[in-house]
Amino acid sequence: MRPDAHSLLACSAAALLAVVVYVNALHNPFVYDDYHTVVANASIRPPAALRAILLYDVKRPVVNVSYAIDRALWGAAPFGFHVTNVVLHALNVVLLFNLAWRFTTSVRAAFAAAVLFAVHPLMTEAVGYISGRSELLCALFFIAAVMCGWRWLRGDGRRWAFATIALWVAALAAKETAIMFPFVLLALDRLALDGSDDPAGRRRRLIGIHAPLIGVTVAAGVARLALLALVEYPGQVRIHWRYVLLELDVIRRYLWLLVNPRGQTIFHGVVPVDSVLQPRALVSFAVVGSIVWLVWRLRSVRWPAAFGLFWFLVLLVPSSALAVLDQGEPMAEHRIYLASCGLFVAAGAGIAWMAARLDGAGAGLRSLGRLGFSAFVVASALVTVVRNTVWADPVALMRESVDLAPDHARSHLLLGEALQDAGRRAEAIEEYRAAIRLRPAEVMAYLKLGRCLGEMGRLGEARAAFRDALRIDPGNALARQSLTLLDEWESRLVPDARRR
């Protein structure tokens, strides 16, 4: 299909909205992980060496390359990094529009999908957070790979095969979530092309395209898990089956935030689900089961909607798998970015279907439907703008997480770090101690507490905090180094005091 004036105008409007709602985020400061990924990242400082850039984070080299380019173009201030994030988001909106338009052949469906994706406040953690860059780049290459894969499956030429593989590799170099691409491509084949050609053609694609890609995926997944268990966290990786119930509940919560984005925060507290008979477990089974049922039900009548729902579920598998292995936070808003693309495609297809039904129901109902959709878009855009203002103040951002998850040590630890960075050390100490009370075995809280006490000159208390850290983890190098530094500091202070 060739774009016409109508489709170009709709696509441009959606992309423009994606920029407008994030204008007030451009001057936001570095926050949380930004200090590791950007501020303290020596590999991107001029004169930058390509080898150092690529090796700084070998799992996501594309992301660090983008940071190095930003650093060279804009300097060390966060403004330029934010500009790049917003531009990437707008490009993703354009790609999603084109994908939805080609799959549904409806500008209405494509516009609905793209504009919802552009302004939805749940995207703010990926777009407004500089360290969310991995999500943006992964989505950019992933969506483009799906579009090229569509041409490959249709037999439009070998160049589309090369483009698909290259884009998939680029997506993997941005974030490991892209490992699920072969399953998305297989679903696209089965949903969009099944029945459109002879069984021999489907069998050739299964053997020549899907089997090799899935084989590479499985081998890479096994290798990654082996690296995690044997090198990165030896002896610490094991399967926690009850976390499967927790991750099903997290999917339910993501869906609810997409419908009603209240209670957003940089850190979401989660409560374990210990039994399949708990109400939350039953509701989660019902929600996820309903999505699976819709995929099956819509596969032959509304395949783009079925494909989008499948995309949503399968792209949440990698982060859920890590949570089941007790690695990383069970829930984080930035992880929904790429997964939500599929859900917005499904939503766009559904909205276009409803709009077509309303076309024959009279002008009044048509106007009511348009008004309802417009009201949701405007409300979402306003919430996104307000959400950006929360990210403008690191202390307010972290205090929000404490207010929403007061019984979780992680939220207090994050607030303590923000307060310490702001020079409010007395308040930071209280938050670190709150984190220790909630999770006495958390070594990092003792280290942060000791450092903060040391900055205030309370050396005896700082020493006690570092010793507590060593009691929990006798081999902790940071605690030993900190104690050594305290001893050296005191040895210099004593002679100075005697001379006075």
- Which CATH number does the domain housing residue 426 bear? 1.25.40.10
For residues 415 and 492, membership in a common domain is answered with yes
Percent of the chain with pLDDT strictly greater than 90: 55
Kind plus residue range of the DSSP H or E element containing 320: helix 317-324
Instruction: Give per-residue pLDDT as tens, 245-267.
Output: 889 999 999 999 999 988 899 88
Which has the higher per-residue pLDDT, 112 or 330? 112
Reported confidence tier of residue 228, pLDDT bands at 50, 70, 90:
confident
Reported confidence tier of residue 397, pLDDT bands at 50, 70, 90:
very high
Chosen domain end from 325, 356, 391: 391
For residues 347 and 490, membership in a common domain is answered with no
Mean pLDDT, rounded, for 53-57: 87
Least confident of 110-119, 140-149, 284-293, 316-325: 316-325
Mean pLDDT, rounded, for 17-28: 96
* CA dist., res. 81 & res. 27, Å (int): 10
Reported confidence tier of residue 497, pLDDT bands at 50, 70, 90:
very low
* CA dist., res. 109 & res. 102, Å (int): 10
- Inside any domain, residue 43: no
Work out the end-to-end distance of the chain between its first and last CA atoms, rounded to an integer number of angstroms. Answer: 85
For residues 402 and 480, membership in a common domain is answered with yes
For residues 420 and 272, membership in a common domain is answered with no
Chosen domain end from 350, 370, 391: 391
- Inside any domain, residue 44: no
- Inside any domain, residue 60: no
Q: Looking at residue 6, what is its pLDDT? A: 83
Reported confidence tier of residue 194, pLDDT bands at 50, 70, 90:
low
Tokens standing for 278? 């708990």
CA 246 → CA 66, 116, 231, 256, 280, distances in Å? 34, 28, 27, 15, 9
Q: Looking at residue 196, what is its pLDDT? A: 63
Q: Looking at residue 499, what is its pLDDT? A: 44
- Inside any domain, residue 48: no
* CA dist., res. 228 & res. 360, Å (int): 57
For residues 381 and 403, membership in a common domain is answered with no
* CA dist., res. 254 & res. 13, Å (int): 27
Range picked from 22-26, 217-221, 260-264 for highest mean pLDDT: 22-26
Length of the chain equals 500
Mean pLDDT, rounded, for 453-474: 88
Q: Looking at residue 498, what is its pLDDT? A: 43
CA 136 → CA 90, 175, 177, 436, 444, distances in Å? 10, 9, 12, 35, 30
- Are 338 and 125 in contact by the 8 Å Cβ rule? The answer is no
Instruction: Give per-residue pLDDT as tens, 137-185.
Output: 999 999 999 999 999 998 888 899 999 999 999 999 999 899 999 999 9
Residue range(s) defining the domain that contains residue 312: 5-30+77-391
For residues 156 and 245, membership in a common domain is answered with yes
* CA dist., res. 369 & res. 113, Å (int): 16
For residues 485 and 356, membership in a common domain is answered with no
**Residues 244-275 as b or e (16 or more Cβ within 10 Å = b):** bbbbbbbbbbbbebbeebeebbbbbbbeebee
- Are 413 and 445 in contact by the 8 Å Cβ rule? The answer is yes
Residue given tokens 């423009």 in the structure block: 16
Least confident of 79-83, 351-355, 428-432, 494-498: 494-498
Percent of the chain with pLDDT strictly greater than 70: 95
Mean pLDDT, rounded, for 476-499: 69
- Are 266 and 33 in contact by the 8 Å Cβ rule? The answer is no
- Inside any domain, residue 39: no
Q: Looking at residue 215, what is its pLDDT? A: 92
For residue 348, pLDDT beyond 70: yes
How many domains is the chain partitioned into structurally? Answer: 2
The mean pLDDT of the chain is 89
Tokens standing for 384? 């996104």
For residues 434 and 386, membership in a common domain is answered with no
Which residue intervals of 75-210 are DSSP H helices? 78-104, 107-119, 124-127, 133-153, 158-172, 181-188, 199-205
For residues 378 and 407, membership in a common domain is answered with no
* CA dist., res. 191 & res. 184, Å (int): 10
For residues 177 and 326, membership in a common domain is answered with yes
- Inside any domain, residue 212: yes
Q: What is the dihedral of CA 470, 475, 478, 484, to 10 degrees?
A: 70
Chosen domain end from 391, 417, 443: 391
For residues 148 and 88, membership in a common domain is answered with yes
- Inside any domain, residue 312: yes
Three-state secondary structure call for residue 195: coil
Which of 408, 403, 490, 478 has its CA nearest to residue 446? Answer: 478
Reported confidence tier of residue 432, pLDDT bands at 50, 70, 90:
very high
Mean pLDDT, rounded, for 34-61: 88
For residues 185 and 279, membership in a common domain is answered with yes
Least confident of 249-258, 410-419, 469-478: 469-478
For residue 496, pLDDT beyond 50: no
Kind plus residue range of the DSSP H or E element containing 494: helix 477-499
Reported confidence tier of residue 490, pLDDT bands at 50, 70, 90:
low
Rounded (10°) angle between helices 78-104 and 61-74: 130
- Inside any domain, residue 58: no
Instruction: Give per-residue pLDDT as tens, 74-127.
Output: 999 999 999 999 999 999 999 999 999 999 989 999 999 999 999 999 999 999
